[in-house]
Structure 1
Amino acid sequence: MEQVNQIVSKINFKPVQQDIHHNQQQTINREQTEKIINQVFERMKSIRPAWRLSLPDDRAEAVAKKEWTKAFIKNGILSFEQLRHGFDKARSIDDKYFPAPGTFIKWCTPQPEDLGLPEPETAYLEACKHAHELNPGKAKWTHQAVYEAAKQTGFFELKSMAEKHILPVFTRNYDFITKKILKGEPISDIPKALPGQVQQTIAERNKAYHDDQQKKQLQEKGLDQLNNPKDAMNEIYRMLGRN
């Protein structure tokens, strides 16, 4: 993998006329960095009228762009959605001066409350409440992240398991989803917790119990040598004259 300085050295920071598209799914690759960093500066100049105090000439601007690029790469500013948050925050702050790269990077990473994301404890209580509804998917959720975390955790488990067992599972899912949203990433394809990270759910324990009971019954009747449980049940029905 190339070092940051090697990447930056290959970039031409002369202004280019290409707008930034606000596409939540799109990420910035190395080839786009040159265009993006120039557009960031042009956009920030329009937002901060006293930018000349920080960028008095072309040389100072070129040096600043290299530093901003290094900071973007190091801090993972890789999506247009992150940049959108940065611009929105810049507009909301009453300041006419050009920001430092670290300041803008902080603006690119919104806080949960900026996106209407409830606290984990509040989200958990909401998930438990809606889990008891007939169709949780049609309930009025405060945020999509709460619904996704509840769905990943399991509505049956949320309304059935003790809080000390299910709360850590929900918290893990909600934290993972929240971080993806704050980075401007899609929240689909969320990985399940690895085996051993969470206790077996009630549904899983029930299935394991019934499977074990069925296995014992087949062994007692001498039918466990058959290929599968369906064949065994058919044999039982045959023996009972129900075929």
Structure 2
Amino acid sequence: MGNGTASPEVVDALFDGMRNLYGAKFEKQWGEFDEQGVWGAELAHLAISHLERGFHRLRVEIRDAARSGDTAWPPQPAAFAAMCEPRPEDVGLPTVDAAWREACAHCHDPAGWRWSHDAVRMAGQAIGWREIHGTTAQSVRVRLEKRFSHEYGALVNRVMAGQPLAAQGLIENDATRNRAELAERASREAAQQQAEAAGLPHRMNASQGLAMLKAATGRA
């Protein structure tokens, strides 16, 4: 997947970063390196830019835990992979929860509201404004929210992939795809814009990507 996939060297750098964050707790659980290949297998579909994003979120999680007096524990590989995945807010869209609240708040007059993003309006429309507005039973609203999350997630996938927002049939097809895969092009373009603004090389080879990951994890 693009440049900088989770090679053994990349996973080694990630392990060093995890030890910097969690100390002996991480090494006691996972050892000095990915001996069983569990981490490499779980992260294989992610680019280095995704791993950097996940590592940044770990730092935030640890800071939040420290502020509340809690102990932060090392994540499982699947949980860390999920932290690396792009989220709506990464591309300026509302979170799923915020989008659902907006849809509920303005379902009575969707045409008269200036939506934060067209994806929110389209997801609400796919569920049905009358159904959202008229349903009061909590069990039914839970199901509606789940359907909305599915529709909105599919639309977010399209935005992340740089594709136009599409009708219901196309949305259903995209809903089954890997979000990181759909986001690759959009992430690459966003990263390139940031790189150009910072005066970095137009293309980043594997060595440069590894160096950036080491810097992000404090290993450089």
Fold in common (TM above 0.5): no
TM-score by length of structure 2 reads 0.43
TM-score, normalised to structure 1, is: 0.40
1 or 2, which has the higher helix percentage?
2
- The structure, 1 or 2, with the larger RCO (C-alpha pairs under 8 Å, 6+ apart) is 2
